[in-house]
Amino acid sequence: MYKFSDVEQSDGVTSLILSPLPIWTGYQASDPLKVLTKKNDVYIDIGSGNAKGAFELLYGGQSIASIILLLSYLFLNIFIYGRFSHSTVILILLCCWLFIILLCLSFIVISHIQHGKENMQTRFNRQRREVAWVDDKKQLHLVPWESFKAWVGSASTIGDSIAYRSSLFGMGPPAPDDPHGFLGVWRMPCGTELAGIMQWECIRSFMELGPDHIPDVDMTQRDAILHFKKRKKMRRQAEWGDWVKQVLADWFLGRFWAFKFAKLFERLESVEIFPEAVEWSKPLPEEQWAKPSAELVELEKKWRQRYKRREKFFDMDRRIAEAKAEGRYYTPVNE
C-alpha cells in the first residue's frame, strides 16, 4: 500500500504520494484551486469545482451571442432592408438565439451530471479523524483519515512545435479489497505540482492543527447577499469606477442566476443528503476526539528533522531516487 513520499510512474505520469499517513509537507496551507466551500470547528467541505464560475462563463457566452444577434438584426435592417420581411428576420434571429440558449443549458446540465459523478463534495471531520465520501453509486463511506489517499501527478507533453507540462491533484478513499485501488477519485487540474501540494496542505492542516491554520472561505463569491452588499458599499463610498464595472459584470455574467445555480449544485452534491452524514458532522466533546496514530506521530518527527536540515519535500529527483532505493517506486509492472 502506498505511503507518504512514495512515487508511482504510470503511462508517462509521475505521481508523488501525499497520503496515506498525511505528514506535513513543509509548505504553506492555501486554497489555490478555490475548492474550499465550507469551514467550521468540526469539518471542512471540499467542493467539486467552481460551479458559479462555470455558469458565468456560459452565461457570458450567451450574452455575447445576444449582442451579436442584435447587431446582425440592425445590420440586416439598415443594409439589406427589403429583401426579407421584417417578421422573417426577427423569426430567424430569435430561433438562433433560442438555439444558443438551449445549447448552453444542455452543456450545463450534461457537465453537471458527468462532473457530479466524479467529484462529489468531500467532508473532512477533524474531531472524528474521518472523511465522508460519496461514490458514483451515491453510497456514503466514512473513511479513516490516515488511510485516505492523496497525490500530485505531472506529465510532460512534447509535440512538433510545442512542449508543456501539466499537473493534477487527486485524492480518494482506498478500495477495501485492493491496496492500490480506489472507491472513487476526486481530481482537479492544479497548474503546478506545488499548487496541488499546497491545496492538500490546506486539508491536512485543518485535520491536524485546526481551522485557524487554513484560510477562510471567501463568502462574497458564494453568498449572493454578501456579494450585492459589497456592491452597495462601493456605491455608498462613491467608488464609481469599480461600482460601474461590478454592475456591468454582474449583468453580463448573470451573477444573480449564477449564485442560485451554484447553491443548487452544491446542495445536490452535498454529503448532507444522507441523514447519517448530518449526525456524523455534529461536534463531539473534546475527550471523545480521535487521536493520531503512533505511526503517524513518529513519521512526522522524522520528516520535521529532515526539514530542519533544509531538505525540501518537493524535490522530485531526490524523491524518485529514494523511492527506487527503498523499493517504493511503483510502476504498472511491479504493482
Question: What pTM was computed for the model?
Answer: 0.77
Per-residue model confidence (pLDDT) at position 136: 77
Please report, in tens digits, the pLDDT of each residue of the chain (335 residues total): 678 888 888 877 888 999 999 999 999 999 988 888 889 999 999 876 566 777 777 777 777 777 777 777 667 666 665 555 666 666 666 777 677 666 666 665 555 445 444 456 789 999 999 999 988 788 889 999 999 999 999 887 766 667 677 888 999 998 887 767 788 888 888 888 899 999 999 999 999 999 999 999 877 777 777 777 877 887 777 777 877 888 887 887 778 877 787 777 777 677 888 899 999 999 999 999 999 999 999 999 999 999 998 888 888 888 888 888 888 887 865 44
The C-alpha cell of 64 is what? Answer: 455575447
Long-range pairs for 208-216: beta carbons < 8 A, 24 or more residues apart: 208/22, 208/24, 208/126, 208/292, 210/41, 210/126, 211/39, 211/40, 211/41, 211/44, 213/29, 214/29, 214/31, 214/36, 214/39, 214/44, 215/29, 215/30, 215/31, 215/36, 216/39
CA-closest candidate to residue 11, choices 331, 323, 325: 331
Count of domains observed in the chain:
1
Residue 319 placed within a domain: no
Residue 316 placed within a domain: no
Cα distance between residue 228 and residue 109, in whole Å? 27
Residue 153 placed within a domain: yes
Residue 329 placed within a domain: no
Residue 97 placed within a domain: yes
Residue 328 placed within a domain: no
Residue 2 placed within a domain: no
Per-residue model confidence (pLDDT) at position 159: 62
Q: Residue 117: which domain range?
A: 7-308
The C-alpha cell of 68 is what? Answer: 451579436
Per-residue model confidence (pLDDT) at position 197: 94
Residue 325 placed within a domain: no
Per-residue model confidence (pLDDT) at position 301: 93
Per-residue model confidence (pLDDT) at position 145: 96
Per-residue model confidence (pLDDT) at position 43: 95
Side chain identity, residue 166: S
